[in-house]
Amino acid sequence: PCLHLIAGARPNFMKIAPIVRALQADGRLRWKLVHTGQHYDRNMSDVFFEELGIPAPDVHFNCGGGSHAVQTARIMEAFEQHIANDRPDAVVVVGDVNSTLACTIVAKKAGIPVAHVEAGLRSGDMAMPEEINRIVTDSLSDWFFVTEPSGVDNLRREGQAEAKIHHVGHVMVDNVMYQAELLGRSDTTGFPTDAVKRELQANGGRYGVVTLHRPSNVDDAANLAAIAGALKTVAADVPLVFPVHPRTRGTLQKAGLDLGPRIHLMDPQPYMSFLHLWKDAAVVLTDSGGLQEETTALGVPCLTLRENTERPITIEEGTNHLVGTDPAAIVAAARQVLGAGAPPARKPALWDGQAAGRIVAVMAGDLL
């Protein structure tokens, strides 16, 4: 049997890498890699393939940019044509991006079963495009590979059959553990973040790392300005470094927002260069989904600048704090975390670096 793995946007690539490694190690299933091209800048896509050791995609659709409907429709059209020429036995989608949704719908209408990796997560917030993508994808999928107990509960509540639900742990944690190991043996002096990090740490200093790209936080200039004000106050205590997503850079430029001298802005970073930076941070402030989990995996304090999270285990058992976007709350939470000692090193069940192997074992068992 042959699986087609779908990768489209930056947060997909670190989930695909361990699945590819596990398929190679297992050797029983054939597979091909489909890149939808949702993300297309070199530093949003190609650098991840190179660094994470993902083979070049077998097919590339170039479906980046455009509105949600345009982007989703273009991916659907391209994927429909692709599977008409080269029909897989199953399609594997990861996460919650538009590529995940588009390829799931097309595969199911063609009668091809779908495996959803990172299934069952729910923020309860229908204003998030990802929540819609998650719900639609899960309503159609045949295998649910779940990262945390809340995902199992959500799928049961939605009436999904028990036999389809597999709590396997998290491929993103497989990846961060693998890469952190490699990083420990790497020469980091060539990384764009290395000099910045040394400057931030001058005289034993602590620092924080920021990422922001949620439309609700960054599309509206007033919302972004409010968060930026809080970040400037936090930066008076510890310097911050902020790799800026293209979506966020657009609003910063349009609104002419100045973050001041204590917040170091940089381009989006390759995986290793970014890991090198955040793994030693005193605090990470983010609205990312994946970074909430990666910080928990490595025990780095994280403040999530959102009103909800679809990844509650990171708060219950990890290092994450759900702070919201009220400026005073952000500043208070940062001071609290910076004043506290090291967070307890606890890891959620099955976040052990072996999730991809469990996924491949289940799929091979069902397909062979």
**Residues of this chain that bind ligand UD1 (CB under 6 A):** 9-11, 38-41, 44, 64-65, 96-98, 129-130, 213, 245-247
Our CB check for ligand UD1 shows the closer of 166 and 213 to be 213
Least CB distance from residue 56 to ligand UD1, whole Å? 17
Q: Which of these is catalytic: 213, 245, 264, 321?
A: 213
Distance CA 20, CA 5 (A): 9
Our CB check for ligand UD1 shows the closer of 22 and 44 to be 44
H helices of the chain, where?
A: 10-26, 46-51, 68-85, 98-109, 129-140, 149-157, 171-184, 192-200, 215-218, 221-237, 246-255, 271-278, 290-298, 313-316, 327-339, 355-367
Least CB distance from residue 53 to ligand UD1, whole Å? 20
Q: Over 120-186, what HEC string results?
A: CCCCCCCCCHHHHHHHHHHHHCCEEEECCHHHHHHHHHCCCCHHHEEECCCHHHHHHHHHHHHHHCC
Q: Using alpha carbons, select from 236, 214, 218, 235 the residue that is nearest to residue 227.
A: 218
Our CB check for ligand UD1 shows the closer of 10 and 311 to be 10
Q: Using alpha carbons, select from 244, 236, 284 the residue that is nearest to residue 266.
A: 244
**Any catalytic annotation for residue 213?**
yes
CA angle 322/328/334 to nearest 5° reads 55
Distance CA 270, CA 36 (A): 20
Our CB check for ligand UD1 shows the closer of 139 and 186 to be 139
Q: What is the DSSP secondary structure assignment for residue 212, as one 8-state letter?
A: -
Our CB check for ligand UD1 shows the closer of 38 and 354 to be 38
Least CB distance from residue 154 to ligand UD1, whole Å? 18
Contact status, residue 150 vs residue 312, Cβ threshold 8 Å? yes
Active site residues: 213
